[in-house]
A = this chain, B = another copy of it.
């Protein structure tokens, strides 16, 4: 079974577990999210439906994102302001962020060692890790002067 299908299953299982229904709108939202390779917020997702003429209300998008989050289909991404940002969960390509308090620049980084350590800690706490949000705040090379 492909990863994508596994995630859809996880979503359906969550709905089942909660006594919720797999509606047409939820299917649309799930599908659309899979097509987005960047991070996105609720409104930009809604816009994609609007531009295409799909009849999905903004409230429906807002109401369903938490379910996608809870099922691990999407994860929180580095927010750039007030809005919540998300990105679809993929096993590869994950990165974390260093945020410069001076120039606000965002440096992406990846560390296998870090990922491994998180797995180890999760295991210690009997926690089933789905995704994480890790940001380092400080000053970049230019701004630390």
Contacts and interface: CB of A to CB of B under 8 A. Distances in A.
A16 to B, nearest CB: 14
Interface residues of A, number: 37
Nearest to A143: B128
Nearest to A100: B127
Given A113-B117, A121-B114, A138 B128 contact: yes
Q: Please state the number of chain copies in the assembly.
A: 2
Contacts of A141: 125-127
Given A76-B137, A117-B117, A134-B133, A125 B109 contact: yes
Contacts of A130: 101, 137-139
Contacts of A76: 137
